[in-house]
Structure 1
Amino acid sequence: MKKIITLCLLLATVLAPAAGEQLPVYLDERQPVEKRIDDALSRMTLDEKIAVIHAQSKFSAPGVKRLGLPDFWTDDGPHGVRPDVLWDEWQQAGHTNDSCVAFPALTCLAATWNPSMARLYGRSLGEEALYRGKNMILGPGVNMCRTPLGGRNFEYMGEDPCLASAMVVPYIQGLQSNGVAACVKHFALNNDEENRFKVNVTVSDRALREIYLPAFEAAVKRGHTWGLMGAYNLYRDQHNCHNRYLLVDLLKGEWNYDGVVVSDWGGTHDTDQAVKNGLDMEFGTWTNGLSAGAKNAYDMYYMAMAYRAGIVSGKYTTRELDDKVRRVLRLYYRTTMARKSGHGFLCSEAHYDAARTIAEQGIVLLQNKRGVLPLKAGTRRLLVVGENAIKMMTVGGGSSSLKAQREILPLDGLKARLGSAVQVDYARGYVGDTTGSYNGVTARQSLAETRSAAQLVAEAVDKARGADYVIVVGGLNKSKHQDCEDHDRLDYGLPYGQDSLVEALARVNSNVVFVNISGNAVAMPWSDKVAAIVQAWYLGSETGTALAAVLAGDVNPSGRLPFTWPRRLADVGAHALGAYPGTWRPGHNIIDEQYKEGIYVGYRWADKHRVKPLFAFGHGLSYTTFAMSGLRLDKRRVAAPDSITATVTVTNTGRRAGAQVVQFYVSDHSTTVDMPVKELRGFARVELQPGESREVSVVLGGHDFQYWDEAGGGWQVSHGRRTLLVGDAADHTPLRADFAVE
């Protein structure tokens, strides 16, 4: 009904002129967009301008009905279109037509190391959003994984700015090809969930520019995102939803961003700062719009009545207001006022295929002793153990919680794939979170359990003695203090006594396969005692199907880790230096957190301090083998800003088709500034048949040869000798070639 009313208003306005009369410029699609914006802006009253820069409900902002400009509707992502909520409550509205396809979490997408999967992901999600009448999806997220305790890491794309930049751009392009805006988040330095409104980050300018900003810059300059969301935390003692340096000086100044800056829900704190420091659309400021807060509570937003009163009194000019409204109108002409090429699709076969393919490509085979996987022919009895084998993971975790039309669970997927030829038995093994509900969406299952922990382990061990394989599906879930918005993990270990369970199973069966469901690394003190380890992420609607396909060998695993997997927290820079989670500022309700590790995040820290991780950044095994050879450069000396092309030959030396991810790292031997041992500067995923060889190339240039000069406040070329290192993981780069930057 909402969509019909909006359409009628728009049609009434468009058809109002008499026959032969020229359309108003702002409605004339033949006119340049900026001219249409100028015309619409000139027709708007002060009240209309104020109205469009703040919310009118939990997820919408008003259009300009008098001019036929429709309301603007946002919705949470980034893994699927969130179910509709009540007008101004987080509780679900109870609709029956707002189920969706749940796509894999963004850590899984990043683990594909395949930009074409990111484009497919964005396009598919955009089609679902378009069908649902959503004009902006609040995602994707590209904050760096600084510590494995980060509660929201599962929504982000790993620890490396090169990888995240390469993946976020096609995601945005795919999403916005539907006329649905991306809203890249959370800008910036959003690496804590616990006390997230109070964390004030201190970070070197070099780390900010080289680690934490590149993916956002790529989203703006290469992805041309139409929306960007400020973060809850503070930087330089200003909240990031109205942070002058980040939003005015950097984003809209240096990067020339022409889109809108959207506040995170409740991230606005001050009218004066919101007006002057770059915020364009305010959402989520406290009110329920109905019974709590002031009457007409949306008028009480910081950029509502208070802003209007400041303009009327002369405290503010309309210069900032007109810039904000101009950006909002530009957003309208890109979305609600754009001629759509289609109507979108919801829960289509193509979307389930996309979700399954992304999941299959993102699953990482971390360990495979004796080639125990894939499951061997002749397997007669398989035991599945663990709560995560039967637990829905699409519900919970915060704003990315979904109401999936279907979610195939790991146990069900294995049973469906293996059929009657294999006896698939199940043992609970442990009990975790049995609630399974979030904001009115309840998982369609019962996880109630009356047996004790000892009884559950005993049952699993007894059944494991006679099994050909024991598949333990464990890890984390989306409960508080695990992978969950608003909370960080309390420790690095697995919860619910899973370590003891795995140890007990490994004592009675040599073919234990541990499938880890999580968006973060976890401690695995028993890793040398199990045969195989599979990182399965949160895979969405097709979880069981994708996982079964990899375990059974229908799909050759090709995922690679998007972050370093440390053996212990002390091997992570932020923890080794005591730089996480920060300290309370005396006399203030602020936590000061200094990023003492600087640019040394993830594998950069491990390289510098010669720390051997459990599994390296970029690591991932296959059911076939590959060889790399013939590394060559098109030149041995390059004068910046020229580029250099590196080419390597990849051969599938095994017996089955598979995909290899070739990773190109650069080691800078300059002594003028402290440099990492190496940094990822490019990668290429190549699919090969048995015996097939193919050349892959990457082009290096620009920031690949630069560092941020803090003294000079700009990018500087580091001149001198470089070494290009090529391999299939950060700890395996056997090919090397030297060149010089002049």
Structure 2
Amino acid sequence: MAGTPTSPDTEAVVEAALGRLDLDAKTRLLAGRDMWSLPALPEIGLDSLVMSDGPIGVRGVRWTADDPSVALPSPTALAATWDPELARRAGTLLAQEARRKGVHVLLAPTVNLHRSPLGGRHFEAYSEDPHLTGRIGAGYVSGVQSGGVGTTVKHFVANDAETDRFTVNNVVSERALRELYLAPFEFIVANAHPWGIMTAYNSVNGTTMTEHHHLVNEVLRGEWGFDGCNVSDWTAARSTTAAVNGGLDVAMPGPQTVYGDPLARAVRDGEVDEAKVDDAVRNVLRLAARVGVLRGAEPAVTALPEPVDGQALAREIARRAFVLVRNERGALPLKQGTVALAGAAARDARVLGGGSATVFPARIVSPLDGLTAALPEGTLTYAVGADPNTELAVADQGFELRAVCRDADGDVIGTGTAPNGQLQWMGADLPEGVTHDTLHTVELTGTFTPRESGRHTFGVKGLGHFTLRVDGTTYFDDVQRPAKDDPFLTFFGAPEPRAQVELTAGRPVEVSLTQVVRLPENLPLKVISFSLVHQDPRRDPDELIAEAAAAARAADTAVVVVATTERVESEGYDRTDLALPGRQDDLVRAVAAANPNTVVVVNSGSPVELPWRDEVAAVLLGWFPGQEGGDALADVLTGAHEPGGRLPSTWGSLADAPVTQVVPDDGELPYREGVFIGYPAWEKEGRTPAYPFGHGLGYTDWTYESVEVRGTTVRVRLRNSGARPGREVVQVYLAPGEPDAERPARRLAGFAGVTAAPGESAEAVVELPRRAFEVWDEKEGSWSFVKGSYEIQVSRSILDRRLTATINV
């Protein structure tokens, strides 16, 4: 089985290969060759091992739309399915994608917790609950590794916010670490046997994670028996000696890292025991053997899974992840009649979050595309209504561009394709004939054909000297400087508007953006990264909202799509509020006032405030739905399929949220809430959320008939008492009989999905794990089994209990 410990034969090959390496070769292997790979060592039959970002797709070694990837829904969407088997199928597809792109290790999944709703990268993690996170993460890892591709479960550990993530010291009690933040990693190590772990940027209790001997060597490797490879987050490793002694195997990216030559010198100077280096090399060679790049060792997987249809699976995950949180008067599925669609996100869908999770799908089906195809001709109208994007986006629609490389004399030395306005070349990923030594300028040039007449805005995302020309006029010729000292600002920084130009719809104009290449010294790899950005003419917001309301008034049903933007949810920064950007709340209220049969689709990766939720007929949470999101949405709205999702995190207002601090104070972020995050914290504080953890409606009804407990096995009988087939997620919470202020009143202990036709019964079987009855004893430094009486609460959400039983342990 993939992921189980390697065979004695493989371990013998690893030892033989290690024995043939000198110190320099060993330390070179532990440092990245470039941005995404480790060096090949032909003398031992080792090929270069290639890594790639995930978690919703496999980007490969090139950051470009020229190299498209399947884009699945966001991890929050996958968790909303409450289906580990579906997560396994997603992983199997991603292994297939990795093999297609020559990738051996996927830098995923992210199993950090939703500690606070303000976490800017929560779309890339699964849930606020460690059990749900562990179950979904284990399914994902098992699926990827069943395809012979490694995973690196990340970010180990307590990387639960983005503010000052490179330097923050997260102060976390041992009990909170064990019961919450370490728990998903522990579950995945025990049940899916990942081949890799990625250690985080942040410190925990005073020690940076790339040097954390206790958590890596004593807990991860010692207590849990992890035998895989520990890779740093990119640029996270800071100290040669402390990193290798702290259990870090690979320092990425290369070639300038704290390993390689610095590590060899440290050994020769007596600062590092060579046995530590050997331990790290063994872990790398074991990973190489598992993925099939070490000659003489049988790969962990020799029979690959059946091929997976990426488009079909992306569509299935999206529709099964949609969470219907409100459905008054049977607003959904849609009735026959006319539909007025509104919202900029309905036309220009946001299908994934920002940052290193970015991939470039070959196609994107927007809600407008999906509904146009699904509804009878002539029954659908569209109005922008409100645009959440307050800043410029990468030039795409209407642009035809190419990249031109020139030397210092202005002579062309190479050209490259540019599917959109984002150019990102890492390391040696340059057009043919171009080298960093000869490259002086890069020009993105071509034409733009507007789809609207009016004042268009053009700008630049990136750092350095740029020249921007539109339609023969130079609008900017100067240096764009960083607002703060952050090596990743060129990737995650805000675009700057630099030109406003009156253009006519349908008339092409020439555009050009040239950068003078000056590579910053503080990056360990040569990276050329900048973007030509653009924004369509901005119309009067009140006029746009009025148009959408008028269209809604004339239709049988109104559908409004609201969304966050990359400036709201992305790697690199946290949120400051939970409000939808722009005038989208005003749009919803205006449309709802015009048509009581208004359905709102929320296109966000994690919770946002919905102040109008009681004013509309239906609310459907769509997450970042991946490339097939529009067709999946049409499946659910028309009733071809049921929305299958349940909330993996609590949705409520920021004012009511129990845990909101994500900004460090003098470099430290104290986790004062202890074990109370998510729904236990809401319950402890006596606050009622907008929509509770586990909530989700379908298109049928369920009657919970009986619960039987034998030992720690819970059997629940339920019947589909509605008129349509459906799927139900039976949730089992465990509540200690003796109240304890230091322990949550109840926690998710297990769940199971069942399907049934109308009138049919089904049985859900949930095994209660021993850990559900344990707490971490900080005095003893061990798990303590808490005997006594517990109430088993069989529920549809944390607040919707249907059956109870008692168990004594």
Same fold (TM over 0.5): yes
CA shift for structure 1 position 710: 1.2
Structure 1 residues 733 and 349: CA distance shift in structure 2, 3 A: same
CA shift for structure 1 position 580: 3.5
Q: In the alignment, does 2:539 pair up with 1:570?
A: no
User: What SS does the corresponding residue of 1:696 show, helix, strand or coil?
Assistant: strand
* Residue number in structure 1 paired with 2:646: 560
TM-score (norm: length of structure 2): 0.80
Q: In the alignment, does 2:579 pair up with 1:497?
A: no
Q: In the alignment, does 2:410 pair up with 1:454?
A: no
Contact 2:776/2:783, CA 8 A, preserved across alignment: yes
Q: Which has the higher strand share?
A: 2
CA shift for structure 1 position 483: 1.4
* Residue number in structure 1 paired with 2:689: 613
CA–CA separation in structure 2 for the residues paired with 1:30 and 1:408 = 45
* Residue number in structure 2 paired with 1:61: 38
Which amino acid in 2 is paired with 1:680? L
Instruction: Specify which of 175, 188, 191 is matched with residue 219 of structure 1.
Output: 188
CA shift for structure 1 position 251: 0.8
* Residue number in structure 1 paired with 2:312: 353
User: What SS does the corresponding residue of 1:137 show, helix, strand or coil?
Assistant: strand
Contact 2:725/2:757, CA 8 A, preserved across alignment: yes
CA–CA separation in structure 1 for the residues paired with 2:611 and 2:135 = 33
Q: In the alignment, does 2:301 pair up with 1:318?
A: no
Instruction: Specify which of 394, 398, 412 is matched with residue 355 of structure 2.
Output: 398
CA–CA separation in structure 1 for the residues paired with 2:61 and 2:770 = 44
How does 1:576-655 map onto structure 2 within 5 Å? 579-584=661-666, 591-635=667-711, 644-655=712-723
Instruction: Specify which of 526, 545, 552 is matched with residue 464 of structure 1.
Output: 552
CA–CA separation in structure 2 for the residues paired with 1:560 and 1:277 = 40
Instruction: Specify which of 417, 423, 427 is matched with residue 440 of structure 1.
Output: 423
Structure 1 residues 191 and 395: CA distance shift in structure 2, 3 A: closer
- The Cα offsets for residues 322-378 of structure 1, whole Å up to 9 and x where unpaired, read as 000000000010002355647899xx871111111111111100100111110012x
User: What SS does the corresponding residue of 1:540 show, helix, strand or coil?
Assistant: coil
Contact 1:429/1:459, CA 8 A, preserved across alignment: no
Contact 2:93/2:308, CA 8 A, preserved across alignment: no
> Please, which moves more after superposition, 695-704 or 33-42?
695-704
User: What SS does the corresponding residue of 1:356 show, helix, strand or coil?
Assistant: helix
Which amino acid in 2 is paired with 1:487? Y
CA shift for structure 1 position 434: 4.3
Structure 1 residues 444 and 522: CA distance shift in structure 2, 3 A: farther
* Residue number in structure 1 paired with 2:596: 510
- The Cα offsets for residues 15-38 of structure 1, whole Å up to 9 and x where unpaired, read as xxxxxxxxxxxxxx9971111111
Structure 1 residues 669 and 54: CA distance shift in structure 2, 3 A: same
CA shift for structure 1 position 507: 1.3
Q: Number of matched residues?
A: 668
User: What SS does the corresponding residue of 2:578 show, helix, strand or coil?
Assistant: coil
How does 1:531-542 map onto structure 2 within 5 Å? 531-542=617-628
Structure 1 residues 684 and 343: CA distance shift in structure 2, 3 A: closer
User: What SS does the corresponding residue of 2:309 show, helix, strand or coil?
Assistant: helix
Which amino acid in 2 is paired with 1:191? D
Q: In the alignment, does 2:268 pair up with 1:309?
A: no
CA–CA separation in structure 2 for the residues paired with 1:135 and 1:580 = 34
CA–CA separation in structure 1 for the residues paired with 2:351 and 2:681 = 33
CA shift for structure 1 position 445: 10
User: What SS does the corresponding residue of 1:570 show, helix, strand or coil?
Assistant: coil
How does 1:129-528 map onto structure 2 within 5 Å? 129-284=98-253, 298=255, 300-335=256-291, 336-337=293-294, 338-339=298-299, 341=302, 350-377=309-336, 379=337, 381-394=338-351, 397-420=354-377, 422-432=379-389, 433-436=391-394, 439-440=422-423, 448-477=536-565, 479-480=566-567, 482-528=568-614
CA–CA separation in structure 1 for the residues paired with 2:132 and 2:17 = 40
Q: In the alignment, does 2:15 pair up with 1:38?
A: yes
- The Cα offsets for residues 151-203 of structure 1, whole Å up to 9 and x where unpaired, read as 11001111001111111112111101111101111111011112111211111
Over aligned residue pairs, what C-alpha RMSD do you find?
2.1
Which amino acid in 2 is paired with 1:512? T
Which amino acid in 1 is paired with 2:680? R
Contact 1:408/1:544, CA 8 A, preserved across alignment: yes
CA–CA separation in structure 2 for the residues paired with 1:107 and 1:559 = 10
Structure 1 residues 695 and 467: CA distance shift in structure 2, 3 A: same
Contact 1:112/1:559, CA 8 A, preserved across alignment: yes
- The Cα offsets for residues 486-530 of structure 1, whole Å up to 9 and x where unpaired, read as 011121111112111111111111011110011111111111111
Which amino acid in 2 is paired with 1:47? D
Which amino acid in 1 is paired with 2:210? C
Query: Does 1 or 2 have the higher relative contact order (CA < 8 Å, sep 6+)?
Result: 2
CA shift for structure 1 position 671: 5.1
- The Cα offsets for residues 275-332 of structure 1, whole Å up to 9 and x where unpaired, read as 21010011036xxxxxxxxxxxx2x421121111111122222110000000000001
CA shift for structure 1 position 394: 4.5
CA–CA separation in structure 2 for the residues paired with 1:361 and 1:138 = 25
CA shift for structure 1 position 207: 1.1
Contact 1:574/1:595, CA 8 A, preserved across alignment: no
CA shift for structure 1 position 569: 1.5
Contact 2:323/2:644, CA 8 A, preserved across alignment: yes
CA–CA separation in structure 1 for the residues paired with 2:7 and 2:210 = 36
User: What SS does the corresponding residue of 2:708 show, helix, strand or coil?
Assistant: strand
- The Cα offsets for residues 407-460 of structure 1, whole Å up to 9 and x where unpaired, read as 111110010011316233333422514413685389999761331212211211
Contact 2:169/2:202, CA 8 A, preserved across alignment: yes
The sequence identity of aligned pairs, in percent, is 37
User: What SS does the corresponding residue of 1:459 show, helix, strand or coil?
Assistant: helix
CA–CA separation in structure 2 for the residues paired with 1:149 and 1:571 = 13
User: What SS does the corresponding residue of 1:72 show, helix, strand or coil?
Assistant: coil
CA shift for structure 1 position 634: 1.2
Contact 1:574/1:596, CA 8 A, preserved across alignment: no
CA–CA separation in structure 2 for the residues paired with 1:699 and 1:445 = 59
Structure 1 residues 444 and 622: CA distance shift in structure 2, 3 A: farther
CA–CA separation in structure 2 for the residues paired with 1:682 and 1:689 = 24
Contact 2:752/2:765, CA 8 A, preserved across alignment: yes
* Residue number in structure 2 paired with 1:48: 25
Q: In the alignment, does 2:702 pair up with 1:702?
A: no
Structure 1 residues 30 and 522: CA distance shift in structure 2, 3 A: closer
Contact 2:680/2:747, CA 8 A, preserved across alignment: yes
CA shift for structure 1 position 700: 1.1
CA–CA separation in structure 1 for the residues paired with 2:562 and 2:124 = 19
Which amino acid in 2 is paired with 1:390? R
- The Cα offsets for residues 228-247 of structure 1, whole Å up to 9 and x where unpaired, read as 10111111212112212221
Contact 2:353/2:569, CA 8 A, preserved across alignment: no
User: What SS does the corresponding residue of 2:61 show, helix, strand or coil?
Assistant: coil
Contact 1:394/1:402, CA 8 A, preserved across alignment: no
* Residue number in structure 2 paired with 1:639: none
User: What SS does the corresponding residue of 2:375 show, helix, strand or coil?
Assistant: helix
User: What SS does the corresponding residue of 2:707 show, helix, strand or coil?
Assistant: strand
Q: Which runs of 5+ in 1 are unaligned?
A: 1-28, 86-90, 286-297, 585-590, 636-643
TM-score (norm: length of structure 1): 0.87
Which amino acid in 2 is paired with 1:367? R
CA–CA separation in structure 2 for the residues paired with 1:62 and 1:173 = 27
- The Cα offsets for residues 204-252 of structure 1, whole Å up to 9 and x where unpaired, read as 1111111111111112111100011011111121211221222112111
* Residue number in structure 1 paired with 2:729: 661
